């Protein structure tokens, strides 16, 4: 029996079109886009075409699109640019309590460099508390990082309210970094909002190949890592043309199919959440999440199985042919569930949680099978 893959938020299978594009280009276009000969120019043309395609998919101008090696690098670049030109008064960074490790952990470097890093508390469903954000926003804030969709629980931030708070804050608007790795191609979002300075994309989350991502910037930045000056100096290093083109292809596909994919995912998630709730003892995290709750991404859900540690259940499900994850795949071996704890989820529940994430080829039959196995194994192994 083939495996049931329910870890799309960690990494998604490449689409046929993206893989085809990647293989073709990797085989034939080995020129360096910075070279002035025929091969280089061919590569440069592909790079340009990819940039244009990404811009078109997102409804923005091309000069805002910068290619990187992935979501993590896209998050790091704006953060580390703060080290390049330190402002004597802008010494505070605000980061949401549920931010991805690529941003949250990077802030420890900035704290060592003298920045004051403050966490923006969230409500029990994981939304940034607008009042608390407003109180934290003073003239010393250099950057605010709030992810649009959380990778563990799927919570979608109330972008309109956050926009209001930021626009009403005193002094010059800080740099707003919005991690949209779990948003692009999945959740409708305006990538041209005037109050957001940076959006991030990761190719392999939306059906492209690993090794490419994008950073969408309102204005150019002075970056920390210099080199050959590629991507207008924003991200030096020979461009990964094949992966970048695959990103463009995958993004175009997913944007085009977004409405129907979203609807299908919502139906599947409804089926999944209802099914999980019918297993005695299981709690959805947060409990308030409805089966078809528009405050959450229909692609991601966290659920707690009290009496069983998340990693244990992951092993059991893996042995039964099902792939899920515990927390963020990027969190390494740490047992702390920072995101869930920020939502005041009790430690015992947080430790017994798994994350289930679906994608474009997930089927109702797979959800049913997962629920059947999860129920049986939870009853067997819970202590």
CB within 8 Å of 27: residues ≥ 6 apart: none
User: In the chain, which ranges are E strands?
Assistant: 4-5, 65-68, 92-96, 116-120, 141-145, 175-178, 198-202, 213-217, 283-285, 300-304, 322-323, 353-357
Among 260, 315, 336, 364, binds other proteins (CB under 8 A): 315
Asked if 312 is part of the footprint of other proteins (rule: CB under 8 A), the reply reads yes
CA 4, distance to chain mean position in Å, is 22
With respect to other proteins, which residue has the nearer C-beta, 248 or 309? Answer: 309
Binding flag, residue 375, other proteins (CB under 8 A): no
Q: For the CB of residue 104, give the shortest distance to other proteins in the complex, in Å.
A: 20
- DSSP letter at 28 equals H
- Crossing angle (nearest 10°) for helices 38-58 and 241-256: 20
* 330 in active site: yes
- Verify binding: residue 290, other proteins, rule CB under 8 A: no
For residues 195 and 381, which CB has a smaller minimum distance to other proteins in the complex?
381
Tell me how crowded residue 61 is: count the other CB atoms within 10 A of its CB: 11
381 binds other proteins (CB under 8 A): yes
How many residues form the binding site for other proteins (CB under 8 A)? Answer: 12
Q: Which is nearer to other proteins, 221 or 374 (CB)?
A: 374
For residue 292, what are the contacts with CB-CB under 8 A and spacing of at least 6? 266, 269, 270
Q: Classify each residue of 141-161 as buried b or exposed e, where b means 16 or more C-beta atoms within 10 Å of its C-beta.
A: bbbbbbbbbbbbbbbbbebee
Tell which one of 39, 158, 192, 311 touches other proteins (CB under 8 A). Answer: 311
As a whole number of angstroms, the distance between CA 383 and CA 371 comes to 19
| SS3 call for 71 | helix
Nearer to other proteins, 111 or 348 (CB): 348
Nearer to other proteins, 88 or 333 (CB): 333
Taking phi first (over 0 means left), then psi (-120 to 50 degrees means alpha), and beta for anything else, what does residue 76 get?
alpha
As measured in angstroms, the least distance from the Cβ of 309 to other proteins is: 6
The reply to whether 336 sits near other proteins by the rule CB under 8 A is no
Q: Is 309 an interacting residue with respect to other proteins (CB under 8 A)?
A: yes
Under the binding rule (CB under 8 A), the answer on residue 227 touching other proteins is no
Among 230, 351, 353, 360, binds other proteins (CB under 8 A): 351
Among 194, 287, 319, 368, binds other proteins (CB under 8 A): 319
Residue 316 sits in the site that holds other proteins (CB under 8 A): yes
Smallest distance from other proteins to CB 341, Å: 16
Q: Is 307 in the site for other proteins (CB under 8 A)?
A: yes
Q: Which residues are the active-site residues?
A: 330
Which residues lie near other proteins (CB under 8 A)? 307-309, 311-312, 315-316, 319, 333, 351, 381, 383
């Amino acid at each position: 029996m083939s495996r049931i893959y329910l870890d799309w938020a960690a990494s998604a299978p490449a689409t046929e079109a993206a893989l085809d594009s990647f293989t073709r280009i990797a085989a034939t276009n080995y020129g360096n886009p910075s070279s002035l000969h025929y091969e280089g120019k061919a590569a440069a043309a592909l790079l340009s075409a990819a940039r244009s395609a990404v811009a078109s998919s997102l409804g923005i101008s091309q000069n805002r699109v910068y290619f990187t090696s992935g979501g993590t690098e896209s998050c790091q670049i704006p953060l580390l640019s703060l080290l390049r030109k330190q402002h004597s008064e802008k010494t505070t960074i605000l980061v949401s309590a549920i931010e991805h490790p690529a941003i949250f952990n990077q802030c420890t470097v900035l704290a060592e460099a003298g920045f004051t890093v403050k966490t923006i508390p969230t409500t029990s469903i994981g939304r940034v508390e607008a009042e608390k954000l407003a109180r934290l926003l003073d003239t010393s804030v250099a950057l605010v990082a709030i992810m649009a969709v959380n990778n563990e629980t799927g919570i979608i931030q109330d972008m309109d309210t956050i926009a209001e708070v930021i626009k009403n804050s005193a002094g010059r608007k800080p740099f707003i970094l919005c991690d949209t790795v779990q948003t692009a191609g999945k959740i409708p979002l305006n990538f041209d909002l005037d109050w957001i300075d940076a959006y991030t994309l990761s190719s392999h989350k939306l059906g492209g190949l690993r090794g490419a991502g994008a950073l969408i910037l309102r204005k150019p930045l002075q970056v920390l890592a210099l080199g050959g000056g590629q991507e207008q100096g924003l991200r030096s290093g020979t461009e990964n043309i094949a992966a970048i083109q695959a990103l463009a292809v995958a993004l175009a596909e997913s944007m085009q199919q977004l409405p129907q994919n979203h609807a299908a995912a919502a139906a599947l998630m409804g089926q999944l959440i209802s099914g999980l709730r019918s297993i005695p003892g299981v709690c959805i995290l947060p409990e308030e999440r409805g089966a078809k709750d528009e405050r959450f991404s229909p692609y991601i859900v966290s659920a707690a199985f009290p009496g069983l540690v998340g990693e244990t259940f992951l092993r059991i499900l893996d042995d039964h042919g099902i792939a899920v994850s515990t927390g963020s795949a990027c969190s390494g071996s740490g047992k702390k569930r920072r995101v869930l704890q920020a939502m005041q989820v009790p430690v015992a529940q947080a430790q017994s949680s798994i994350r289930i994430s679906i994608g474009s080829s997930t089927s109702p039959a797979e959800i049913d099978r997962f629920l059947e196995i999860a129920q049986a194994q939870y009853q067997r192994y819970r202590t």
